[in-house]
Amino acid sequence: MASNTKAADIAHEARERAEAALDSAREALDAAKGAVGDGLDDTHRYLKRQWKERPVAVAASAVGVGLLIGLLLGSRR
> Can you give the pLDDT at residue 2?
67
pLDDT over 90 (residue 1): no
Q: How far is CA 19 from CA 23, 28, 32, in A?
A: 6, 14, 20
> Can you give the pLDDT at residue 36?
92
At 28-73, the pLDDT tens digits run 999 999 999 999 999 999 989 999 999 999 999 999 999 999 999 9
pLDDT-derived band at 19 (thresholds 50, 70, 90) equals very high
